[in-house]
Amino acid sequence: MTDFTTPDWVKDAVFYQIFPDRFARSDRVGKPSHLEPWDSPPTVYGFKGGDLLGVLEHLDYLDDLGITAIYLNPIFQSAANHRYHTQDYYRVDPLLGGDGAFGRLLDAVHARGIRLILDGVFNHASRGFYQFYHTLENGAASPYLDWFHFDRRRLETGRRPAAYPDVRDHDGSPGNPNSREAFGYRAWWDLPALPEFNTDSPEVRRFLFDVARHWLEQGIDGWRLDVPACIDDDRFWQQFRTEVKDVNPEAYIVGEIASDATRWLQGDQFDGVMNYLFTKACLGFFGGAALDRDLLPPPLRPVKDSLGAAAFARRMEELLTMYPPEAALAQLNLLSSHDTPRFLTLVQHRKAILRLAVVFQMTYPGAPSIYYGDEIGMAGGPDPDCRRPFPWDESRWDHELRDFFKRCIALRRAHPALRRGRLVTLHAEDGLIVYLRSLSQDRLVIALNNSSTTHHLEVGVADHLSEGERLESLIHSGSARVVAGRIIGPVLAPYTASVFALDGGSPA
């Protein structure tokens, strides 16, 4: 679409993803007595008691880090600690502080110029969702029967849906072939706790669109869409976009699509996607031989064998041309999420590799997203271990790593070329990648030495930089100069990066 535009603010944003039950707990939110100890290992069903006022009370922390946007995992009333089992789409979970806490948080983040997007779980609900529970009570007589995909033959014989099927028929594993027959309705991954909506129903569509509009009217800045490919209906998502943009044309719509998302990024559905293709490329190049492939979850499979510098450079350029330019600048570029082991764990706790990946993330087009705690060196394996509680005891933080994240974020925020400029690869060989980001007079050269070898920076730039131009390092001390059409610069130690700005450039 020639008129495809994405929210302008997203192009400049630095996101921070928060899993509400595990980020921070406020004494101002009443709690039940039976909570897991905050510092104990997370479990599949246990609650830690994190809440939205806890987030509010730590906004100074996020401000100091340089965050400009927050992505919250689901916050609506639910019987699950992750809240992807929605019971009431119009009510914030009381354990999180309820609607009042959310309103205070939203006002506080907006007062600081921070945006906030919510997780929209629109493919499936939960057994506690009112309309579904109504069908459990009334069977074929329920007026909400068309909201879900029931086995009508089962209902016609007088058998009601089974919300808690016999464990002999269902072992709780995704995709159990006996499960649908056992409980009589379609559920996401054949998990009985997650009945799927019948989005062909006009009533269901109206309900979901009204939910989307309601929270936008309350002031949220967009939606992250959970498993949207499971609603295999372009017209549904086209109408969703129309409804969202009608309330707020600058609202961000980002889908959880782990593969090629061309279908959804033509201007009539989403603005961007969670860029797992970016994540996989980073794991293949920066992780390389250090990558623990046995830990890779479905969204990150397959990661190809270790990517060399040239292959990675080609891939990062391909990802920029895969989608329209507006979508490319609105991708949510992540290294970790609640669905994956943390990047640091996947690369076997090699922090030098994480630092290289962060430099790349902050100097590449698209909106970088930090999963809470990555900046202080939090580790975590597969779910639920990747959802550990944030340790607010600062003696447990890697302060040097956090300071590095801060410098990289500040660098991105200071230079429009890193957010909106063009990218040109200057060199990609032997583990060394050098690329140029430029926008008008703001020009930066980024050098990443992802190898165990020391590299002397000497790269041809005759077509891009003028003879004699001087470049100052923005991360480490040192400078470089263009001599005989080549950048001549300092030594790059193994697994280090440098970002150089043209002396006399004009960052914002």
Q: Which residues contact 80 (CB under 8 A, 6 or more apart)?
A: 45, 126, 193
CB 467 within 8 A of CB 485: yes
pLDDT band, residue 167 (cuts 50/70/90): very low
HEC assignment per residue over 264-301 = HCCCCCCCEEECHHHHHHHHHHHHHHHCCHHHCCHHHC
Q: Which of 334, 330, 77 lies closest to 221 in space, CA to CA?
A: 330
DSSP-derived pairing of the beta strands 222-225 and 115-120: parallel
* pLDDT, position 503: 75
Using DSSP's 3-state secondary structure scheme, residue 221 falls into coil
CB 122 within 8 A of CB 225: yes
- Of 141-150, 299-308, 445-454, 499-508, least confident by mean pLDDT is 499-508
Its pTM stands at 0.95
CA separation for the pair 249, 247 (Å, rounded): 7
pLDDT digits (tens, 9 = 90+) for 425-439: 999 999 999 999 999
Indicate if 226 belongs to the active site. yes
Q: Which of 290, 405, 419 lies closest to 363 in space, CA to CA?
A: 419
Domain boundaries, the chain: 17-126+203-416, 130-190, 417-502
Question: What are the phi and psi torsion angles at 70 (to 5°)?
Answer: -120, 135
Average pLDDT over residues 354-380: 98
Is the model's pLDDT at 50 over the cut of 80? yes
Structure-derived torsion over alpha carbons of residues 362, 260, 175, 208, reported in degrees to the nearest 10:
80
Is the model's pLDDT at 65 over the cut of 90? yes
Average pLDDT over residues 407-435: 97
Using DSSP's 3-state secondary structure scheme, residue 229 falls into helix
DSSP-derived pairing of the beta strands 222-225 and 486-492: unpaired
Instruction: Give 72-76 contacts, CB < 8 A, sequence gap 24+.
Output: 72/18, 72/20, 72/116, 72/117, 72/118, 72/119, 73/17, 73/18, 73/19, 73/20, 73/119, 73/338, 74/118, 74/119, 74/121, 74/226, 75/20, 75/102, 75/118, 75/119
Q: Which residues contact 494 (CB under 8 A, 6 or more apart)?
A: 449, 451, 452, 453, 454
Average pLDDT over residues 298-321: 90
* pLDDT, position 164: 65
Query: Which of 256, 339, 374, 375 is flagged as catalytic?
Result: 256
* pLDDT, position 505: 53
Residue 398 Cα to chain centre, angstroms: 23
pLDDT digits (tens, 9 = 90+) for 74-105: 999 999 999 999 999 999 999 999 999 999 99
Place of tokens 């510092």: 39
CA separation for the pair 417, 438 (Å, rounded): 5
Query: Which of 12, 221, 226, 469 is flagged as catalytic?
Result: 226
> Domain 417-502 falls in which CATH fold?
Immunoglobulin-like (2.60.40)
> Domain 17-126+203-416 falls in which CATH fold?
TIM Barrel (3.20.20)
Is the model's pLDDT at 158 over the cut of 80? no
Indicate if 256 belongs to the active site. yes
pLDDT band, residue 168 (cuts 50/70/90): very low
Is the model's pLDDT at 169 over the cut of 50? no
* pLDDT, position 170: 40
CA separation for the pair 375, 371 (Å, rounded): 8
The percent of residues above 70 in pLDDT, for the chain, comes to 94
Is the model's pLDDT at 473 over the cut of 50? yes
Is the model's pLDDT at 221 over the cut of 70? yes
